[in-house]
Structure 1
């Protein structure tokens, strides 16, 4: 009976020691994983911060694209107005030219040939015609300048639209990555908290197994000593 008691206490001691070693290895492994998880969370927070910076950069680019688009639209509108003004000036010049040319028409030219003294008078009459021709030329230049400004405005408007589209895509991608990063970070923190709780519980079990190992070990020694004395 004494022998069975000694064997039983020794087995309990070994079982407690084995449990302690097993749990201790699990705790060491858990601490390593916990440290790795903490590193991953730190990296995730860093990526999240970078994502926020990129998102802000995307917002800045989007605002710049909108500003460029507005500037292009303004330039296009100004070009259209200038083109319309040039066309109106050209139309007025052509009307003035036709009206003056009708008044100063060819039948009077014969007197200029026959009577050279009338040449200054005819030259004076031709001045309005030359003025109308100059006005037409100025109108044509205004129309050409307006067309160039419209073309430049359209190019700037298209460039603004492209930059706006790029900014919108970058903003959407940044927002999506930021959302995914926040979700992963929250999940990682939750898993880390659960791991810390499990690790804390395992440490308590390890301490209990350590006490049991000492208890059964001392008990075995006492039983053996008592058995030898008797």
Structure 2
């Protein structure tokens, strides 16, 4: 029999209007929640296959990928010491470029493995020809701010970092992308723009994410800023 919740369940992966038996949720809901929690835990503790990702990024044709580990020596330290994930163990010597691209494992290496190369491939097709792009950086045990060190070393005007987002009970494989103008150590989060929930089939697709990032990049170049000064509303960028 149809209920009030049925049409709403088709619009969201969130667990809403769960059936009950007496005072308890039905067994299938309990098992589904346990499975979602297990997937989220696996995502958080999983490791990135750097070699495989390197092959995918190499195929983009923008240079040999460079692996940059963070100052966190292992996953356990990374999870307990976010500050170590925000800085690289060592900053490589890189040729100057207008745009730095960083691919980071973040809190879901699975999301990075599934979506990062596809998003970057779509993004490169949207970029103007006068924008020089450095070789892709693979950052492991990394937080978003690690990319600021790479961008500064590359003297980049812009940095895009794609990173596995914190898993939830509805999504364990969601990718986020951050755009930062004039990246430098100490950059505040308010100076970045974020495109989140990049995943298939229940999130933002690769092509749509790339178009949004390209609009942000164009807007950032126009006003020479990102973050709270740059807005992307209904596909049209505004500043202020």
**Fold shared by both chains (TM-score > 0.5):** no
TM-score (norm 2): 0.19
TM-score (norm 1): 0.19
Structure that is richer in helix per residue: 1
Structure that is richer in strand per residue: 2
